[in-house]
Amino acid sequence: MSAEHLAMGLDCLRCGRGIPFRADAYLCPSCGLGDAEDAGILDVRYDYRRAAGCFPDGPAADGIFRYSALLPIAASEVPLLPAGGTPLLAAPTLAARIGIGALYLKDESANPTGCLKDRATAVGVAMAAAAGHDTLYCASAGNAAISLAGFCARAGLACHVWVPSGVAEERLERLRGFGAVIHRSSGDYDRAFDEAEAEGGRRGWHSRSCAFNPFLVEGKKTVAFEIAEQLGWAVPDLVAAPVGDGCTLAAAGKGFRELRELGRTGALPRLLGVQAEAMQPVVRRFRGEPGGGGSGDSRAASINVRRPRNARRLLREIDGCGGTVLAVSDDAIERARRLLADEAGVAAEFTSAAALAGLARLAEDGALAEKTAVVIVTAGDRGG
Ligand SMILES: *Cc1c(COP(=O)(O)O)cnc(C)c1O
Ligand SMILES: [Zn+2]
């Protein structure tokens, strides 16, 4: 049976307007960009009744495209790196150390460029090529840029990336290796974002940013499909991930909701979003507190986001599953990073270890002694 996608419509997360599905869709026609932090981001809706009969469709070797019924595109016209299909590692020693019943690590360092963002890039590049674009761009603290650069190199597309001034040399080296055009911002990620938007938008290039592109979250949600499938179509009590813009954890939430919609699973996991104490705007919004997110000098570079672009999407998912968002210190992240390496043999990027640090905090009072949790190790360690 040949795979087909069952995307039907696009609904605005801001105003609720629904439009028919289009492969070249961008922002909501009513809301538009507005303030980038509050843009009319579209959300893909599928024919879930039909999808229930053909999900998943295809062998594990197809990676994320074995879930094509619930993707906006069934196959790519251009060659892609093989995103997804990452291991789910049981971590019993680590579970005992932090006081949780059972713990699994979803090791996203096994993706082609070493990061969960490859799942989004795969779908984004496939959709961009299908819509006839030859140049893609993004602003990124490094991982999204490296991912986009790698996929564009393989697909034969041009790639422009905007990175913060403080980006690690290792990351620049990877970007140069993939032949990306690097625009080094004079400021932080939020500044780089504005610069990318000014130039990329003006030139009509295609954006790999979850603030505009409605298809990236669809790639990222496959991490939830894999977790449930690897647990025998069961869901854990908790799923933890670091939160910057909010797209990653929101995507996992959407994936788990869709599995329940299809009747594949019976429940939703509680989502746990973790930010760094030095930069916690999503935690503030979750608590209904006004004001900025912090000073931003955390070592967790990949989540140093002052104006989160998918907070609305994430808070909706958190709300729907009884989840929570909390902040941890850089010292706690460093301890978690060491634990991941010593007790489970997983070399995580510093930012990624925030998820375990947050889970450990939640487990402190013994409340999780009987629970099963999955920590999404969003990227492997490669400096910075
Ligand atoms: C991008 C990123 C995150 C956070 O994802 P958001 O969608 O920005 O919330 C977490 N960890 C790593 C390693 C990342 O690169
Ligand atoms: Zn709208």
* 159 touches 135 (CB < 8 A): yes
pLDDT (0 to 100) of residue 294? 79
**Angstrom distance (rounded) from CA 277 to CA 198:** 30
Q: Is the CB of 245 under 6 A from ligand 1?
A: yes
Q: Are residues 220 and 304 in the same domain?
A: yes
273 membership: H or E segment, kind and range: strand 270-276
Tokens of 51: 């999808």
pLDDT (0 to 100) of residue 325? 98
- Of 207, 237, 262, the last residue of a domain is 207
- Of 166, 184, 207, the last residue of a domain is 207
Q: Is the CB of 303 under 6 A from ligand 1?
A: yes
The CATH number linked to 136 is: 3.40.50.1100
Q: What is the DSSP letter of 265?
A: -
Going from the Cα of 38 to the center of ligand 1, the distance in angstroms, rounded, reads 19
Determine how many CB atoms are found less than 10 A away from the CB of residue 156: 10
Strand partners, 19: 10
The answer to whether residue 224 is domain-embedded is: yes
Dump the DSSP string for 290-309.
-S-------S-GGG--SS-T
Q: Is the CB of 113 under 6 A from ligand 1?
A: no
Q: Are residues 371 and 240 in the same domain?
A: yes
Strand partners, 11: 18, 43
The answer to whether residue 57 is domain-embedded is: yes
**Angstrom distance (rounded) from CA 132 to CA 148:** 17
Q: Are residues 48 and 176 in the same domain?
A: no
**Angstrom distance (rounded) from CA 134 to CA 101:** 49
The answer to whether residue 78 is domain-embedded is: no
Q: Is the CB of 138 under 6 A from ligand 1?
A: no
Q: Are residues 165 and 228 in the same domain?
A: no
364 CB burial (10 A radius; 0-12, 13-18, 19+)? exposed
- Of 180, 207, 234, the last residue of a domain is 207
* 223 touches 108 (CB < 8 A): yes
Round the CA-based radius of gyration of the chain to a whole number and report it. Answer: 19
Q: Is the CB of 351 under 6 A from ligand 1?
A: yes
SS3 319: helix
**Angstrom distance (rounded) from CA 380 to CA 167:** 17
- Residue 230 is part of which domain span? 88-115+216-377
Q: Backbone phi, then psi, for 158, in 5-degree steps?
A: -80, 150
Q: Is the CB of 118 under 6 A from ligand 1?
A: no
Q: Are residues 180 and 50 in the same domain?
A: no
**Angstrom distance (rounded) from CA 133 to CA 225:** 29
Distances (CA, A) of 309 to 38, 101, 233, 246, 312: 7, 34, 31, 7, 8
Helix/strand/coil percent split, the chain, to 5: 40, 20, 40
Q: Are residues 220 and 356 in the same domain?
A: yes
Going from the Cα of 285 to the center of ligand 2, the distance in angstroms, rounded, reads 21
Going from the Cα of 27 to the center of ligand 2, the distance in angstroms, rounded, reads 8
How many structural domains is the chain composed of?
3
Q: Are residues 259 and 369 in the same domain?
A: yes
* 272 touches 323 (CB < 8 A): yes
Q: Are residues 51 and 131 in the same domain?
A: no
The answer to whether residue 327 is domain-embedded is: yes
Q: Are residues 111 and 129 in the same domain?
A: no
Distances (CA, A) of 95 to 3, 22, 259, 376: 39, 44, 26, 14
The answer to whether residue 243 is domain-embedded is: yes
Asked if omega into 56 is within 30° of 0 (cis), the reply is yes
> What pLDDT tens digit does each residue of the chain (384 aa) get?
347 899 999 999 999 999 999 998 989 999 988 776 778 999 999 999 999 999 998 888 889 999 999 999 999 999 999 999 999 999 999 999 999 999 999 999 999 999 999 999 999 999 999 999 999 999 998 999 999 999 999 999 999 999 999 899 999 999 999 999 999 999 998 899 999 999 998 999 999 998 889 999 999 999 999 999 999 999 999 999 999 999 999 999 999 999 999 999 999 999 999 999 999 999 999 999 987 777 778 999 999 999 999 999 999 999 999 999 999 999 999 999 999 999 999 999 999 999 999 999 999 999 999 999 999 999 999 765
The answer to whether residue 384 is domain-embedded is: no
The answer to whether residue 79 is domain-embedded is: no
Residue 258 neighbours by CB under 8 Å, 6+ apart: 46, 48, 70, 221, 224
Q: Is the CB of 243 under 6 A from ligand 1?
A: yes
Q: Are residues 368 and 263 in the same domain?
A: yes
Q: Are residues 312 and 280 in the same domain?
A: yes
SS3 375: strand
Q: Are residues 164 and 311 in the same domain?
A: no
Going from the Cα of 315 to the center of ligand 2, the distance in angstroms, rounded, reads 17
The answer to whether residue 309 is domain-embedded is: yes
The ligand with the least distance to the CA atom of 39 is: 2
Task: Give the length of the chain.
Answer: 384
Going from the Cα of 253 to the center of ligand 1, the distance in angstroms, rounded, reads 15
